[in-house]
Amino acid sequence: MESHCPGKTHDVTNQVPPLADYNLFESDAALAAAVDRDGAGWHRDALQRYGAALTTPDILALADLANRHTPELFTHSPRGERIDALEFHPSWHTLLALLRREGLLALPFSDPQRGAMAARCAGYYLHAQLESGSLCPLTMTFASIPVLQREPALFETLRDKLYTRQHDPRDLPLAQKASMMIGMGMTEKQGGSDVRSNQTRAFAAGNGSGRGAPYRLVGHKWFFSAPQCDAHLVLARTGDHEGLSCFFVPRFAPDGSKNAVQIQRLKNKLGNRSNASGEVEFLDAYGMLIGDEGRGVPTIIEMANYTRLDCVIGSAGLMRAALVQAIHHARHRSAFGRHLADQPLMRNVLADLALESEAATVLFMRLARAFEDAANAPEERAWRRIVTPAAKYWVCKRALEFTGEAMEVWGGNGYVEEGPMARFYREAPVNSIWEGSGNVMCLDVLRAMEREPEAAQALFAAWRSTAQVHPALGAALDRLAAALSSAPDLREAAARRIAQSIVLIAQATLLVEHAPAQAADAFIATRLADGCGESGRVYGTLPAAFDHAMIIARAFAA
């Protein structure tokens, strides 16, 4: 007779163990090769150490904690004083301290040497696989440095606080802090991406006006990222110019009092929950004009170029994180008598995801090199100025579909908040929206090509040399050239397809140069060949002739 244990309904079997205690860097062959290739081998030991640290159970738990215990806004003290204070869970500050310790807020500027940009981007990519919200203030702080360096007197007072590897969470005037973070205030209710419609005004506060002079700001920002930062770069209009000007607006005024930047509320966001985004009003807030008066958009565009690159890296990091979780799950979960990873159709899906992830990785690392070398050659300028916005458009878009597909590999377990897949999925849209939506990026690609024809020609010439041995790649280049030679209205209407083609060709040439032939051929056959469905394709449609198992094994060997 079969025995029964009272109170026990079943045994727990066929559940996948948590993925932990592996090395993010060492298990990523494409990243490790790119680090050496792009001159950052000197940083390899630090990346290996960080790659191991980020997957320990205690560190992995930080991401969940920071996103479950979201920031809180306290507008007033118990005595009724206006304080606009933000309170974060301790996990948030631990995450920021990790980023500071690795030098990811300033590495190419604080330690300039060959490969420093690639080293920093690789570290950023590793952290993106852990937690995304903490990358937002890091990105803006990093991107502000080249802008602030053009203001020598101001930068002299900020350099040490920007370059330090110590995190200082205290909400104090800058003079009393060991480190600082910088945010941005660009968009307003009526304009969004159209910042030229901004209404915030700036009035000279002293005897003089112009660069370096103090101003009083009156107006609002609909998205203020991130309001807890120690200072923000803000766009506003002065009375003397039609164009917008750029202002350095500290959280505390020079006299040590709280600056008159009132936080109206924090945004209730889909993702990026660990980080605060706010709506603010300026009530005669102190600001210092940086750059030339009326030239605020060109001044802050330099910052935007760096943030766009980080959007590409952040999305590539989400894709990589979702990929390794999907592969790990498929290697441990059985269905219909076999592990998922041993089933041909699942192998096709995983291999296709692996190709997409590797293509995103080699692309952002190539862009990192261009950010170092853009002043030296037309082709490098093209990678930085033309391919970067195209990559920001395409890779960030692909992350949405990618994370959804990886979640599906997990089945129902992926759809609940106890695991990381739901968080990855919620994080995926933000990079596509932030710092210029898809249409804005694609129009910027066309604008860059018109302004940098020599650079575009040098880039296409380099691609042509690779395409000589790949007919499908050559045909894709011909189609791109035809689209670019069409009438202006037709070209603008096709801007998304043009940007998509630029990125796919860029990724294909990089894979031809740096990945196994099977991987490059599979990517070209399914992304660029005639009839492969360049738009709206789903993952898992690789031809059966390709070695799916090899592609998966290369992607994640842990």
d(CA 447, CA 540): 35
Report CA dihedral (506, 317, 30, 326) to the nearest 10 degrees: -110
> Residue 533 above 60 pLDDT?
no
Q: What is the DSSP letter of 281?
A: E
Q: What average pLDDT does this structure show over 442-457?
A: 95
- Of 181, 183, 157, the C-alpha closest to 96 is 181
Please say whether the dihedral angle defined by the alpha carbons of residues 526, 529, 532 and 538, taken in this order, is positive or negative. positive
Q: What average pLDDT does this structure show over 487-495?
A: 94
Please, which pLDDT band fits residue 6 given cuts at 50, 70 and 90? Answer: confident
Please, which pLDDT band fits residue 531 given cuts at 50, 70 and 90? Answer: low
pLDDT-above-90 percentage for the chain = 86
Instruction: Give the SS3 label for residue 189.
Output: coil
pLDDT at residue 469, as a whole number: 85
d(CA 229, CA 234): 13
pLDDT at residue 2, as a whole number: 67
Which of the four CATH numbers 1.20.140.10, 3.40.50.620, 3.30.1460.30, 1.10.260.40 does domain 299-555 have? 1.20.140.10
Q: Say which range, 95-99, 371-375, 406-410, 421-425, has the weakest mean pLDDT.
A: 371-375
Q: Are 369 and 119 in contact (CB under 8 A)?
A: no
Mean pLDDT, rounded, of the chain: 94
Cα-atom radius of gyration of the chain, to the nearest Å?
A: 24
Please, which pLDDT band fits residue 535 given cuts at 50, 70 and 90? Answer: very low
* Angle formed at CA 201 by CA 196 and CA 202, multiple of 5 degrees: 120
pLDDT at residue 156, as a whole number: 97
Q: Tokens at residue 343, please?
A: 């089933």
State which amino acid sits at residue 312. Answer: V
> Residue 377 above 80 pLDDT?
yes
d(CA 171, CA 177): 8
Q: Tokens at residue 395, please?
A: 């890779």
d(CA 183, CA 75): 19
pLDDT-above-70 percentage for the chain = 98
Please, which pLDDT band fits residue 183 given cuts at 50, 70 and 90? Answer: very high
> Residue 93 above 70 pLDDT?
yes
Element (H, E) at 514: helix 495-514
pLDDT at residue 447, as a whole number: 96
**Other CB atoms within 10 Å distance of the CB of residue 500:** 21
Prior bond of 226 cis (ω within 30°): yes
Q: What pLDDT, in 10s, does the model give residues 223-235?
A: 999 999 999 999 9
Please, which pLDDT band fits residue 1 given cuts at 50, 70 and 90? Answer: low
d(CA 22, CA 151): 44
Whose structure tokens read 């009839």? Answer: 531
Q: What average pLDDT does this structure show over 202-220?
A: 93
CA distance to 181, 205, 249, 320, 347, per residue, from 326 (Å): 35, 57, 44, 10, 11
Element (H, E) at 320: helix 296-332
pLDDT at residue 191, as a whole number: 80
Instruction: Give the largest CA-CA distance in the chain.
Output: 98
Concatenate the DSSP letters of all residues of 476-508 into one string. Answer: HHHHHHHHHTS-HHHHHHTHHHHHHHHHHHHHH
Q: What pLDDT, in 10s, does the model give residues 318-347?
A: 999 999 999 999 999 999 999 999 999 999
Q: What average pLDDT does this structure show over 102-116?
A: 96
Q: What average pLDDT does this structure show over 349-362?
A: 97
- Higher-confidence residue of 509 and 375: namely 509
Q: Tokens at residue 253, please?
A: 């005024």
Please, which pLDDT band fits residue 388 given cuts at 50, 70 and 90? Answer: very high
> Residue 534 above 60 pLDDT?
no
* Angle formed at CA 189 by CA 435 and CA 215, multiple of 5 degrees: 85
Q: Tokens at residue 246, please?
A: 């750029």
d(CA 437, CA 454): 27
- Of 144, 50, 48, 25, the C-alpha closest to 101 is 50
Q: Tokens at residue 340, please?
A: 């998922």
Return the domain boundaries, the chain. 29-163, 174-296, 299-555
Please, which pLDDT band fits residue 536 given cuts at 50, 70 and 90? Answer: very low
Whose structure tokens read 């005037």? Answer: 173
Q: What average pLDDT does this structure show over 121-126?
A: 98
Instruction: Give the SS3 label for residue 544.
Output: coil
**Do 174-296 and 299-555 have matching folds?**
no
Residue 419 makes CB contacts below 8 A (sequence gap 6+) with 410, 413
pLDDT at residue 375, as a whole number: 72
Q: Say which range, 93-97, 372-376, 414-418, 515-519, has the weakest mean pLDDT.
A: 372-376
pLDDT at residue 545, as a whole number: 87
- For domain 174-296, the CATH class is mainly beta
* Long-range Cβ pairs for the range 480-486 (8 Å, 24+): 480/505, 484/449
Q: What pLDDT, in 10s, does the model give residues 21-54?
A: 999 999 999 999 999 999 999 999 999 999 999 9
- Of 255, 175, 267, 197, the C-alpha closest to 227 is 267
Q: Tokens at residue 252, please?
A: 């505390």
Q: Are 145 and 106 in contact (CB under 8 A)?
A: yes
Q: What pLDDT, in 10s, does the model give residues 53-62?
A: 999 999 999 9
pLDDT at residue 300, as a whole number: 86
> Residue 270 above 50 pLDDT?
yes
d(CA 195, CA 65): 35
d(CA 314, CA 126): 9
pLDDT at residue 532, as a whole number: 62
